[in-house]
């Protein structure tokens, strides 16, 4: 009898934790509407505390539903929030504009990933395991396999001003059932910096010479490419290419 009651309690608890995708959509849509509402209120009446609270609530709800509902890893949320997935569909990024920035936009990104025991979702953490206040938007996720593990390449984007933007990559693994950011695997330049592109965003608009993707990856050739810019920060149709040699991406041109 006790065993039966325990099973019934577990099933009831699980039902309360899980939500239908329709319910999840409605909840997240409502949260986004609150962010947009308080954005206009903040602009008109300086209600910035309420805008921040709306973002905190959205992030809290998002992490909860992603952790408690494994099917969300494959669900289409594109009408609510920007999502990109890895080719193997085991890692996904959810990015949104908090509307708390000025011309330098404030983005937030949550990652969801497949583990051996289910699905997890989290924000990256910085020093002392404190949540990292990243201002980037995840634009794409590529992947490749080494002898030891699958490595994911997240293409991230930050808006620095009304004109200038920046894009680079982060490397991750999901080994040991945790999302781990690993040090850059790209050969640094003469200044010791990891490649990235600071560019004039306007140069990518209605420009037939601008590439569709400023950073791309060829999984068959293991080549990662970064678009070049001219002296004024305008994007060109030339690339710097880096080929993975088994240990890191080495510049080949």
Helix (H) or strand (E) holding 236: strand 235-244
Measure the CA–CA gap between 220 and 3, rounded to whole angstroms.
Answer: 53
Which whole number is the average pLDDT over 176-200?
Answer: 88
Confidence of residue 12 (pLDDT cuts 50, 70, 90): very low
% of the chain exceeding 70 in pLDDT: 87
Task: Quote the pLDDT of residue 5.
Answer: 37
> Can you give the pTM of this predicted structure?
0.86
CB atoms within 10 A of CB 57: 14
Q: Whose structure tokens read 């009304």?
A: 162
Whether the predicted pLDDT of 101 surpasses 90 = no
Helix (H) or strand (E) holding 157: strand 150-159
Q: Whose structure tokens read 């908090």?
A: 98
What would the DSSP string read from start to end of 202-232? Answer: GGGTT-TTS-S-SEEEETTTTEEEEEEE-TT
Whether the predicted pLDDT of 7 surpasses 90 = no
Under DSSP, is residue 85 helix (H, G, I), strand (E, B) or coil? Answer: strand
Let me know: does 185 contact 148? Beta carbons within 8 Å: no
Tens digits of per-residue pLDDT, 36-72?
888 887 766 777 789 999 999 999 999 999 999 999 9
Let me know: does 31 contact 57? Beta carbons within 8 Å: yes
Q: How far is CA 228 from CA 204, 223, 237, in A?
A: 12, 16, 7
Q: Whose structure tokens read 């004024």?
A: 232
Whether the predicted pLDDT of 159 surpasses 80 = yes
CB atoms within 10 A of CB 26: 13
Burial of residue 47, with CB atoms counted within 10 A of its CB: 0-12 exposed, 13-18 middle, 19 or more buried: middle
Confidence of residue 219 (pLDDT cuts 50, 70, 90): very high
Which whole number is the average pLDDT over 233-240?
Answer: 95
Measure the CA–CA gap between 112 and 92, rounded to whole angstroms.
Answer: 5
Q: At 228, phi and psi to the nearest 5?
A: -90, 155
């Amino acid at each position: 009898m006790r065993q039966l009651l325990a099973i019934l309690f577990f099933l009831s608890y699980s039902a309360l934790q899980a939500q239908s995708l329709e319910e999840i959509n409605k909840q997240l849509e409502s949260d986004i509407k609150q962010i947009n509402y308080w954005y206009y209120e903040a602009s008109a009446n300086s209600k910035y505390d309420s805008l921040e609270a709306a973002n905190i609530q959205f992030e809290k709800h998002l992490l909860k539903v992603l952790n408690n509902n494994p099917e969300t890893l494959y669900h289409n949320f594109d009408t609510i929030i920007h999502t990109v997935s890895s080719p193997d569909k085991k890692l996904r990024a959810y990015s949104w504009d908090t509307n708390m920035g000025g011309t330098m936009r404030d983005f937030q990104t949550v990652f969801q990933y497949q583990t051996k025991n289910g699905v997890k979702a989290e924000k990256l953490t910085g020093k002392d395991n404190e949540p990292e206040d990243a201002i980037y938007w995840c634009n794409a996720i590529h992947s490749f396999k080494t002898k030891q593990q699958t490595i994911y390449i997240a293409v991230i984007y930050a808006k620095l001003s009304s004109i200038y933007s920046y894009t680079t990559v982060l490397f991750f693994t999901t080994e040991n059932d945790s999302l781990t950011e690993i040090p850059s695997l790209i050969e640094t330049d003469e200044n010791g910096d990891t490649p990235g592109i600071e560019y004039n965003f306007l140069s990518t608009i209605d420009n037939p010479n601008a590439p569709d993707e400023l950073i791309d990856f060829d999984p068959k050739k293991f080549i990662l490419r970064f678009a070049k810019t001219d002296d004024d920060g305008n994007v060109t149709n030339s690339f710097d290419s880096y080929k993975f040699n088994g240990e890191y991406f080495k510049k080949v041109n």
